[in-house]
Amino acid sequence: MTKIAVFASGNGSNLQAIMEAIRGGELKATLAIVICDRPGAYCVKRAEQGGIPSLVFRPGDFEKKEDYEELIKQKLWKLEVEYLVLAGYMRMIGPTLLNSYPEKIINIHPSLLPLFPGKDAVGQALAAGVKESGVTIHYVDSGMDTGPIIAQEKVEILETDTGESLALKIHRLEHRLYPQVLQRILGKKEE
Ligand code: GRF
């Protein structure tokens, strides 16, 4: 079974969806570890409740990104992790991890990239007054939400939508789409 690591910084609802898909057999992978850059974040609790080990660190405790990414890399190598799955990880991935896992780092973003990269993509879409937004799953490169797109799916934005209702629609879509697309990627690898 392919080993994956999920990187998260906050709530971790996508982490939860991935754990459930693995448990249900829809996603054939082993979640070896959860990496979190925010001690106390709810995603760490979710990992614990799911019986998944976590590596939690405080970036401020390190002199530079390279130092904590080196620590993460050592851990991932030891566990023989093959894919890095970013799910609400609020940091750019640096060369230490990018060079060790070429085309093996995947991210989910709550907009139809290249539209609305960066923070608060839902708020950006509403502010722009567009009629649809969606979710993008893409490979990670050194840019901000710029890597090659793997999958996209749309959601309609209604006149009545608020930040909250749109975020909810997008999350629902993410929770279905991310495990499906991950399975497609990992399944191809097995062929
Ligand atoms: C998701 O909307 C994801 O697209 C973005 O960050 C959010 C994380 O949500 N990258 P959660 O922590 O998985 O609930």
Burial of 191 per CB tally in 10 Å (0-12, 13-18, 19+): exposed
Q: Say what the pLDDT of residue 188 is.
A: 85
109 is catalytic: yes
> Is this model's pTM higher than 0.95 or not?
yes
- What distance in angstroms lies between residue 110's CA and the mean position of ligand 1's atoms? 7
CA torsion, points 45, 137, 4, 191, in degrees to nearest 10?
Answer: 150
Q: Say what the pLDDT of residue 17 is.
A: 98
**For residue 166, how far is the Cα from the chain centroid?**
19
The parts of the chain modelled with pLDDT lower than 50 are none
Ligand 1 atom nearest the C-alpha of 170 is 2
Pairing of strands 2-8, 132-139: unpaired
Which residue has tokens 């999920």?
A: 6
Determine how many CB atoms are found less than 10 A away from the CB of residue 128: 12
Q: Do 49 and 20 form a contact (C-beta atoms < 8 A)?
A: no
Q: Do 174 and 88 form a contact (C-beta atoms < 8 A)?
A: no
Which amino acid appears at position 116 of this protein? F
Q: Say what the pLDDT of residue 189 is.
A: 72
Q: How far apart are CA 72 and CA 51, in angstroms?
A: 19
CA distance readout (Å), 167 to 48, 124, 144: 26, 12, 20
Ligand 1 atom nearest the C-alpha of 109 is 4
Q: Do 106 and 84 form a contact (C-beta atoms < 8 A)?
A: yes
Q: Say what the pLDDT of residue 191 is.
A: 65
| Best mutation site among 85, 150, 171 for ligand 1 pocket (most ligand atoms within 8 Å of CB) | 171
Query: How would you list the strands of the sheet with 54-56, edge to edge?
Result: 54-56, 29-36, 2-8, 83-86, 105-109, 132-139, 149-156
How far separated are the first and last CA of the chain, in Å rounded?
13
